[in-house]
Chains A and B, each alone.
Chain A
């Protein structure tokens, strides 16, 4: 008997029709993959991290492949919030999925200013704060490794917007739960776990690092067990919803994150390899629920059996 399972979830006030979201930096400015499928099918779209002013990004090479992983040091190259709102957002009119902007500031004031600008834009459904980029000299991860600073940034954004605020955490800390609790107290409505893990790779012939930036952030299947563990840990320590990401390639991976308690998941590196990855995960979750006779995806979320 065919029935359509209810895949909708609520992320801190943002209701989305399924738990599949694209991760910042892997889905361009929202419509690059429309030749392959209609992104309206997704729960939400998070676009490339945006800053107050355009950022040129790091000198190449910016990427290197490692076993089951992708090391990147893009350096938050982006066109800036103004150009995004004026030039790119209008072209997303046909996409019916909520648009979430990932934002990045060089200082706390800049985060507040970007939040103010986004507040006026109805088309943007929520804000994800990036305090976890390992590839920029100032700000970025520095904000995400200190609980007080992380809380201050969160607080400034929350104060300047009525939209749901998601904080994206870095795994590059001793205890992620301290930061998670700090941003929860500061008013975050949800938390994304996790950004890339710092890493490097060396070319033994030239004796040079494979990235001009020397260090980069590792993503892809190589980091999935770590990401899963961090989600598990954060879920146990906060009341707000957690969005899980890190190496999710297919619906099976997505289910693992949902089982440990992620309310939704983000698909990142997989988009770069299989342009239809996020859509296939939505379909895979639907089929799985039908097969297992699960009427509502919330029955799966956090249902990990540990005894």
Chain B
């Protein structure tokens, strides 16, 4: 069983960095020391309030100075809207770190990191770690709907990785989707096969996973699920398993959120 804890922490900053996109930071040396890229936190902005009732899952976006954790989130509903209104020193209740996290590449195996929109949240942390502990060649395909939603470009450039940007309307980088870049990339002769790490909207992950399986590439996707607890209690966050002989469903909170592409039944996704 993973080590996990519940803490009430004070927000250090919580600011909008793009259209409907916020970055929140808080300090917790204990959570920071346990956290691995791909893991997530269950957060409640005010446990005394009953609406919204449930905690929401947020992937760990970045760790800095060994004790500062950051979350990148989009304002999509009531919970994230209330969260975005919180200020410096406001308390939030955090449970974590939860889930399995990404498996790291083999020695000398290059990484292809593919992020769509908020999918960059856990992949930034992964890239940070890949860059620091392993001297890997990292290629990143990063896509946003428009330049308005595009965030973190400078920080990613600072990581000194091979970054290609796309927007759907062409307002920044290449016009199109990150999956278009994958087509081109896989069309080339690959001497050293990469391991793919992907996070983003389900249609994007489906496309990437199916291509990776076909091309026999190792591919890890980080999934989202409607989740009540994040702790394996409610069995709400089910995702259909590809191989029916074992478990018919995996649970995103316990078996994931990171899955090897061939584990998931993509037909029903």
Contact = CB atoms under 8 A, between A and B. Distances in A.
Given A60-B226, A62-B226, A70-B54, A273 B235 contact: no
A87 interface: no
Given A62-B238, A72-B234, A272 B54 contact: yes
Contacts of A61: 226, 236
19 contacts: A25-B234, A28-B233, A32-B232, A32-B233, A33-B233, A35-B5, A36-B5, A57-B238, A62-B236, A63-B226, A64-B226, A65-B54, A74-B234, A77-B238, A269-B228, A272-B229, A272-B234, A273-B54, A273-B229
B51 interface: yes
Contacts of A59: 238, 240, 268
B50 A275 contact: no
Residue in B2, B47, B235, B240 with the greatest tally of chain A CB atoms within 10 Å: B235
Contacts of B95: 275
A56 interface: yes
Nearest to B234: A272
A274 B54 contact: no
Contacts of B53: 65, 68-70, 220-221, 269, 273
Nearest to A35: B4
A17 interface: no
Interface residues of A, number: 37
Interface of A: 25-28, 32-36, 48, 56-65, 67-70, 72, 74, 77, 220-221, 249, 269, 271-276
A-B complex: 6 closest residue pairs judged by Cβ atoms: A56-B248, A272-B229, A63-B236, A61-B226, A68-B50, A221-B50
Nearest to A36: B6
Given A26-B234, A27-B233, A249-B50, A35 B1 contact: yes
Interface of B: 1-6, 44, 47, 50-55, 95, 225-229, 231-240, 248-249, 268
Contacts of B229: 271-273
A56 B249 contact: yes
A26 B228 CA distance: 10
Contacts of A271: 229, 233
Given A35-B4, A35-B5, A275 B231 contact: yes
B7 to A, nearest CB: 11
Given A77-B249, A272-B229, A276-B6, A67 B234 contact: no
A281 B240 CA distance: 36
Contact of B249 (A25, A57, A220): A57
From A58, A64, A221, A274, residue with most partner B Cβ within 10 Å: A274
A214 B268 CA distance: 17
A68 B52 CA distance: 6
Residue from A34, A249, A269, A275 with most neighbouring chain B CB atoms (10 Å): A275
B44 A273 contact: yes
Contacts of A56: 248-249
A28 B232 contact: yes
Given A36-B6, A63-B236, A70 B50 contact: no
A125 to B, nearest CB: 21
Nearest to B248: A56
A72 B3 contact: no
A32 B231 CA distance: 7
Nearest to B227: A63
